[in-house]
Amino acid sequence: MLQKPKPQNTKAIARSFLLGVAKAAGGTVLGITMITSAVAAGGLAGLAFSFRNLPDVRVLRDYVPAETSYVYDIKGRLLTSLHGEANREIASLDQVSPELKLAVLAIEDSNFYRHQGLNPYSVARAALTNYRQGGVSEGASTLTMQLVKNLFLTRERTFSRKLAEAILAIRVEQVFSKDEILEMYLNNIYWGHNNYGIQTAAESYFNKSAAELNLAEAATLAGLIQAPEQYSPFLNYSNTKIRQAAVLARMRTLNWITPEEEMAARKAPLLVGRPTAWRQSKSPFITEAVTRELEERFGRDKVLQGGIRVQTTIDLNFQRMAQESIKENYNMLRRWGLRADQIALAAVDPRTHFVKALVGGVDYKSSQFNRAIQSRRQPGSAFKPFVYYAALASGKYTPDSTVDDAPVTYRIPGGVYRPQNYGGKDDFEGEMSLAESLIQSRNIPAVTLGKAVGLKKVIEICRILGIESPMQPVISLPLGSIGVTPLEMAGSFATFASNGWHSDTTIILQVTDSKGNILLDNTPKPRQVLDPWATATLTEMLQGVLEPGGTGAKANIGRPAAGKTGTTSSERDVWFVGYVPQLATAVWVGNDNYQSMGKGITGGDFAAPVWRSFMRKALKDQPVKYFPAASQFARP
């Protein structure tokens, strides 16, 4: 293992540096004056002592610069990038075009592969200029000196800082190879517009990787290093071309390119891209939800600086369809007299429980609140399938079992509770089958069933299906008197769609670091959590909801589908949650301030059309699939 340089080694470095300056200065008064000044300040030994506590450059072996994280959809399409101040993607040296390497060396340090961290002749030239100017006005930094300045030192323009820079540069050259130093340099320097590192610079300015840069583009980027914003093609294209020409001229002077190559590069137009830092997400509701989960798991610093790669479960095509459906139907429903300001949608694949689309509101720009995952609203009658499943799974009920739709009174703390049907206090049907009571969404039969099978059992089933929102076994629970999110509803109905097979609903499939090491893997682990007969029977009953006479007839999409409408008291929330074997989707419509949307507003009339619009688009090119028949399973 390398040992930390001892004081006498630092002393020798300082002496070498100062004598090198004097020699390069040709023994001028300047060289003698610099040495004399150092001695007057405490001598070479004192100078060496003052730099003995400089950072140990060996830490660079484990140094990982802040790197941008990227979020992709299920098919690898970029949704957004996440970063702090530094927008950076690391590139190895062999991932950088030879033209870029040559251009940078030509304009910044053409002797890079020949010196040992310092270029005495450049130091002497700069020292002479600074002596004449009476201050530090010109540097003589090699690439290595620039690197250590950026990583270890302040930007103050003082002689002592330049000495520290020189000493650290020599130490770096003793520990690292030239290629390692050049790679660190290219990945750390600032290229303008919040781009750090050559990879993000290439993508931002030219919409290509660093490996694909041609000579004209390479010379442009190399020219930015001195003053990125001044020479930015985004801000002043003519300045960019002037600086590019200077870089090309330097390369030709060094005989690194031919005059013909120089001229061709100067004439080549630059196909300028656009800044990639702080760009808006293609699906902001998605990336906001993903970012929240990532920060909970890994911490904010890891998300913004760790260079992680996140593959979400979202299908960007489905997401766009969902957004379009909400916007189109929002305007249509408003024309129909709906007084609602928001619609939210969540879609889940029953086969994997992957979230395929998530829309948290009508317009992200006007409101960033993600109602699909953050807003707990009463589901109303959309909650009833959990109660009916509990009844079927108990083995005591079938679709033909009867329940009395008649006035009923329950004693509760502080008084009595008399559930009513949607039609009011005189709306009763008497004895009716479970199937018909669900299709017509009768309230009193649902409350009766909930009481019979046990409200704690209903809550247990909800927990198995992934609903985590708070629930209490109150008598009104079967009517959806608790708050849940659209994503919880879509995820639980997805388990009905898969006939009882369940995986944890997730929006993130996999997370890796920038080197491909897996940090999180949410590969589905399906398990049978519901009784097959009871689930298939429930689905057969819920298919009737979409048929003529059912409360969700306006959700009919012309293929086998099941679902349930939901309307809360005073018309504050309306829902439609439904599924086909390939996709389960929940739609909620309402006001953020919980105001009523108007008398007579129902989930069947105003949420079902939104559901139908999205499902038709999402399933347009998908084959028709059928649910399993309950008759093929043994009754519990």
Rounded-to-integer distance, Cα 205 and Cα 225, Å: 14
Q: How many C-beta neighbours within 10 Å does residue 629 have? A: 11
Rounded-to-integer distance, Cα 164 and Cα 50, Å: 9
Rounded-to-integer distance, Cα 252 and Cα 232, Å: 23
Q: Which is the catalytic residue, given 381, 437, 492, 613?
A: 381
Rounded-to-integer distance, Cα 551 and Cα 355, Å: 27
Q: Which is the catalytic residue, given 108, 165, 203, 436?
A: 108
The most distant pair of C-alpha atoms in the chain lies apart, rounded to whole Å, by: 113
- Pairing relation of β-strands 309-312 and 508-512? antiparallel
Rounded-to-integer distance, Cα 75 and Cα 421, Å: 46
Which residues, other chains included, contact 29 with Cβ-Cβ below 8 Å and sequence gap of 6+?
Answer: none
Residue 292: in which H helix or E strand, if any? helix 284-298
- Residue 381 annotated as catalytic: yes
One DSSP character per residue, 295-338 reads HHHH-HHHHHHB--EEEES--HHHHHHHHHHHHHHHHHHHHTT-
One DSSP character per residue, 465-533 reads TT--S-----TTGGGT-S-B-HHHHHHHHHHHHTTTEE---BSEEEEE-TT--EEEE-----EE-S-HH
Rounded-to-integer distance, Cα 381 and Cα 9, Å: 81
Sheet architecture: strand order including 583-590? 354-359, 342-349, 583-590, 573-580, 562-567
Asked whether the beta carbons of 247 and 286 are under 8 A apart, the reply is no
Asked whether the beta carbons of 313 and 75 are under 8 A apart, the reply is no
Which residues, other chains included, contact 574 with Cβ-Cβ below 8 Å and sequence gap of 6+?
Answer: 380, 565, 566, 567, 568, 588, 589, 590, 597, 601, 602, 603, 605, 606, 607
**SS3 of 574, please?**
strand
**SS3 of 603, please?**
helix
- Residue 204 annotated as catalytic: no
Rounded-to-integer distance, Cα 307 and Cα 66, Å: 7
Rounded-to-integer distance, Cα 523 and Cα 514, Å: 20
By annotation, the residues acting in catalysis are 108, 381
